[in-house]
Every structure is written in structure tokens, then in C-alpha cells.
Amino acid sequence: MASILSNLRAPEGSNTVKKRLGRGVGSGLGKTSGRGQKGQYARTGRFKPHFEGGQTPMHRRLPKRGFNTVSIEVELVTLEMLEKFFESGSKVDQAALVEKGLISRNCESFKLLGNGEVKKTIHFCGNASKGAARALEAAGGTVAV
């Protein structure tokens, strides 16, 4: 047992001597401290890990994929507009609204809001808020989605 304890050593390569930089020309790591002459790598401070020397970096060369949110422009129509532009008993859909100029021709989506009052019987085809649907049905009209 005593002979084993007296011969204990650290495994080879586990204990290394720290480099002493800038301690004279004779040390081999003096003057430029192993960084070479001038250039990007000789300077102090860091450079971006993705920097590729002026070449367009990989993250900009590759195409973008996923998580592209697409927003749909919703045009709004009010009860006040229906009262003003349509007669009683008329059927109102996207084509009728485009014809009267209340929504644009290339409109993706439209919705009826309950602003104003309606006294005419109007049959509406499209999205409508709950308040607008109640007001149309109270006036004798219908709402179909």
C-alpha cells in the first residue's frame, strides 16, 4: 500500500503550464504574443462569429422558411351604409357591395358592423357582428354567412 501511494501521479496531459504571453523575444511568445503580424486576428476585441470576411454570410444566403404571418385586410360595412344605399327587401352580398362602391373589387374579406340603425328589411350574405345581426333580424331581415 505504501508503495502505491508514493508513486501516485496525475494522468499525462492533465496538468499544463499556462502560456506566458509577451515576455520577451526569447520565450517564443513575445512581442506579438503568438498572434502574428497585423490583420483581423491580431487585433484586440472580438468579431462576429458568423462574419465571413465580407462574403455574404450563410444565414443570409439560405432561403427563409416558415412563420410568415399573412394578414388579411378586412373591409368594413355598417348598418348605416345598408340603410342609405339599399332598398327594402334587397339581397346584399359581395357583388352588390362592390356594385355600389362600398367595398373594393379585389376585397378579400368584409364584415358588417352594427353602427347606425336599419329600418328596412335587408337580406345580408356575409360576416356580421352579433349586434348587426340582431339589428337586421329585428327589422325583419336575415343574415347568412
Q: At residue 2, does pLDDT exceed 80?
A: no
**CATH annotation of 75-144:** 3.100.10.10
pTM equals: 0.53
Which cell numbers in the block locate residue 113? Answer: 358592423
The CA distance from 126 to 138, in Å, is 18
User: Residue 6: is its pLDDT beyond 90?
Assistant: no
What is the total residue count of the chain? 145
pLDDT for position 67: 83
| Euclidean distance between CA atoms 93 and 90, whole angstroms | 10
- Cβ contact 109:97 at 8 Å: no
Per the listing, cell 526569447 goes with 26
**pLDDT per residue as tens digits for the range 77-103:** 999 999 999 999 999 999 999 999 999
Residue 10 has pLDDT above 70, yes or no: yes
Query: What integer pLDDT is reported at residue 54 of this predicted model?
Result: 87
The whole-number pLDDT of residue 61 equals 93
Per-domain residue ranges for the chain?
Answer: 21-50, 75-144
pLDDT value, residue 1? 60
- Band (pLDDT 50/70/90 cuts) for residue 64 is confident
What do you get for the CA distance between the two ends of the chain, in Å? 91
